[in-house]
Amino acid sequence: MKKTILHIALLTSCLCGVGVRQVKAQQTAAQVFRAAGTPQNPKVTVNWTRYYDYDGLTEICAKLAKAYPDLVKLETIGDSYEGRRIWALTISDFTTGDPERKPAMYIDGNIHSNEIQGSEFALYTAWYLVENFQDNKFIQELLQQKTFYILPIINPDARHNFMHQPNTAQASRSGMIPLDDDGDGLVDEDVPDDLNKDGHITFMRRKSSNGRYVVDPQNPLRLIPAKPDQPGEYELLGYEGLDNDSDGLMNEDPPGYYDPSRDWGWNWQPNYIQPGAYKYPFSVPENRSVKDFVLRHPNIAGAQNYHHNGGMALNAQGAEDQNTFTREDNQVYDLLTRNAQQVIPGYTYSVVYKDLNSAFGGELDWFHGARGIFTFSNELMSPFLQLDRKVASGEEREAEQQELNKMLLLTDAFVEWKPFDHPTLGKIEIGGFKKNFPRAHPGFLLEEDAHRNMAFTVYQAYQLPQLVIQEVNTRKLSNGLTEVTATVANNRILPTHSSQDLKHRIERPDYISLRDSTVVSGMVLESAGANRGKEQKLNPARLEIPNVPGMGSVKVRWIVSATKPNLLVEVDSRKGGVVSQRF
């Protein structure tokens, strides 16, 4: 028995020694068995099961740019209201051409203060692409052909405030511009407060014969409505807080109660029609910076905005009176969404005004309506990824959240009820969910959902226009003339111009040029098999093409005054990229 105890003591001592040495050492590539779909030995190591504040995300961005100078460019596109820089990452294979002359995918996150996971999702995409570039042929070809513009945090002040100041999961969605929301001439005087100084702002309740709630017999942490023949035991008093201005209200005057996602210059409405709208379109400085960035990059053909919770892929139809969608555009959205529903279990394809509520002045509406960009706004974390496929609401949804906290988080997301003497309410109890749940993903779901959404945006980028010059044929004519016919195809789902783009002439036409000074005539043929077309008399060497449809083609023809013309053909499209070929 003594020998056994001695052996155990010696083994424990040895293991402890090994453990100390392993903490100090770096694991080598030989010690790692690579899991499919993950980088083997990333240059920038990031734990994607946690959240990072503004400084933390800034550091990750800087490390990526330093580690991959041929794939990543980091720039600031403007400053927030409180002076924080708004970062933009350009991800592309810079050795294969100018990223601004490739079709581009735009991604952003964290427009709302308490919808923080969008930043991690956006930055995970940048990290995944560059860390897998060396070993993944698909990603190599994708970044050779396409560009990603990724803005992880477009509301940096609000992110900083949400993480570092007392807040709740339901904190104001706005930025940090101060507003007097209750009209008493004071700003920010009635905000939720951590009364018991436990590091969390949770709920207040108190026992009352007039209460409408009783303790759930299945879960003592939860209150449920009392039955009609059952006496109530508790009344809910809202979040922890005080009536600082003696107006009889608590928590009603938070910092800056406006909605940055109701500030965009498409179908914008004032606050009395659309609650949350600020002074005028793009009155929020962060949104103006994003708008200016998008206008400087007309190669953006697809976009993705990340929000928080619900498991929905929303398209750009915020209000029912918009006339921005045609059958052709809807077909593109439908094809893209099929992929989302496959790779993100439980996600549903939804239309804002049909499936949620009318929203005027939304970001995704501006992207599609004003810029003609095919845009999705994903509400993240499908209930399917939590406990089951059921999408619940109200009290039923709250019960599911309690079950998730109990069964998968082992009650870590909830602060148990504790007594507290409130200066005006008397003896109360304080407890409830922490601010990191349920709107924010639990850590174990964060990386999985980030990866699935990344895969969806990569698919969108893959389906951006891909133009190829299929063939060029010549035919000798009389009088030293030669007929040159070229066919240009688009091998992807997205057209070079959406119907909204064509309707409002948002972007210039595509150009198909024959680099030969002897061109005397040029025309766009009516169809691939037609032998007639519409002549372009002005500058016939550079033909203007309204659109190259998805999975379609166009045919053009020139007459040149040469028996051996220069057969260098170039296609130049804002959203379809630039390609040239000599025949």
What's the pTM value of the predicted model, to 2 decimals? 0.92
The CATH superfamily assigned to 54-161+259-381+442-462 is Zn peptidases (3.40.630.10)
Residue 12 has pLDDT above 50, yes or no: no
For position 285, what pLDDT does the model report? 95
CA dihedral 150, 116, 399, 168 (to 10 degrees): -160
Residue 204 has pLDDT above 70, yes or no: yes
Higher-scoring residue by pLDDT: 31, 579: 579
- For residue 17, count other CB atoms closer than 10 A to its CB: 10
Q: How confident is the model at residue 314 (pLDDT cuts 50, 70, 90)?
A: confident
Contact 89, 125 (CB under 8 A): no
CA dihedral 56, 57, 60, 62 (to 10 degrees): -100
Contact 91, 126 (CB under 8 A): yes
Q: How confident is the model at residue 14 (pLDDT cuts 50, 70, 90)?
A: very low
**HSE (side-chain half, CA atoms, 13 Å) at 135:** 11
Q: Which residues contact 457 (CB under 8 A, 6 or more apart)?
A: 105, 107, 125, 304
379 included as an active-site residue: yes
Lowest mean pLDDT among 85-89, 264-268, 435-439: 435-439
CA angle 398, 47, 73 (to 5 degrees): 115
Q: How far apart are CA 201 and CA 430, in angstroms?
A: 9
Architecture of domain 467-582: Sandwich (2.60)
C-alpha closest to that of 343 among 426, 246, 458, 264: 458
For position 311, what pLDDT does the model report? 82
Measured CA to CA in angstroms, residue 425 lies from 14, 66, 222, 234, 235 at distances of: 58, 55, 21, 14, 12
What percentage of the chain carries pLDDT values higher than 90? 67
Contact 573, 496 (CB under 8 A): yes
Residue 25 has pLDDT above 60, yes or no: no
353-360 mean pLDDT: 77
Q: How far apart are CA 575 and CA 549, in angstroms?
A: 12
Residue 321 has pLDDT above 90, yes or no: no
C-alpha closest to that of 301 among 107, 158, 522: 107
For position 26, what pLDDT does the model report? 65
Higher-scoring residue by pLDDT: 475, 275: 475
For position 188, what pLDDT does the model report? 61
206-224 mean pLDDT: 91
Q: Mean pLDDT score of the chain, rounded to an integer?
A: 89
Q: How far apart are CA 350 and CA 344, in angstroms?
A: 14
C-alpha closest to that of 237 among 214, 204, 210, 208: 204
Contact 115, 173 (CB under 8 A): yes
Measured CA to CA in angstroms, residue 404 lies from 115, 219, 386, 437 at distances of: 19, 12, 7, 11
Taken as a whole, the chain contains a residue count of: 583
Q: Is 188 helix (H, G, I), strand (E, B) or coil?
A: coil
497-507 mean pLDDT: 96
Q: Kindly report, residue by residue over 224-252, the tens digit of the pLDDT.
A: 999 988 899 999 999 998 887 777 778 77
357-371 mean pLDDT: 91
Q: How confident is the model at residue 388 (pLDDT cuts 50, 70, 90)?
A: low
Element at 373 (helix H, strand E)? none
Q: Is 289 helix (H, G, I), strand (E, B) or coil?
A: helix
Which of 131, 240, 252, 379 is catalytic? The answer is 379
Residue 341 has pLDDT above 80, yes or no: yes
For position 183, what pLDDT does the model report? 66
Lowest mean pLDDT among 6-15, 60-69, 267-276, 299-308: 6-15
Lowest mean pLDDT among 17-26, 148-157, 262-271, 384-393: 17-26
Residue 174 has pLDDT above 90, yes or no: no
Q: Looking at residue 26, what DSSP letter applies?
A: P
For position 2, what pLDDT does the model report? 47
Domain borders along the chain are 54-161+259-381+442-462, 180-254+395-433, 467-582
Residue 330 has pLDDT above 60, yes or no: yes
Q: How far apart are CA 309 and CA 401, in angstroms?
A: 12
Residue 475 has pLDDT above 90, yes or no: yes
Q: How confident is the model at residue 570 (pLDDT cuts 50, 70, 90)?
A: very high
Q: How far apart are CA 557 and CA 569, in angstroms?
A: 11
Residue 7 has pLDDT above 60, yes or no: no
- Quick one: three-class SS letters along 204-262? EEEECCCCCEEEECCEEEEEEECCCCCCCCEEEEEECCCCCCCCCCCCCECCCCCCHHH
For position 461, what pLDDT does the model report? 98
Q: What are phi and psi of 558, to 5 degrees?
A: -125, 150
Contact 536, 522 (CB under 8 A): yes
For position 31, what pLDDT does the model report? 85
For position 181, what pLDDT does the model report? 65
Q: Looking at residue 419, what DSSP letter applies?
A: E
Lowest mean pLDDT among 133-137, 164-168, 176-180, 370-374: 176-180
Higher-scoring residue by pLDDT: 209, 354: 209
Q: How confident is the model at residue 182 (pLDDT cuts 50, 70, 90)?
A: low
Q: Is 52 helix (H, G, I), strand (E, B) or coil?
A: coil
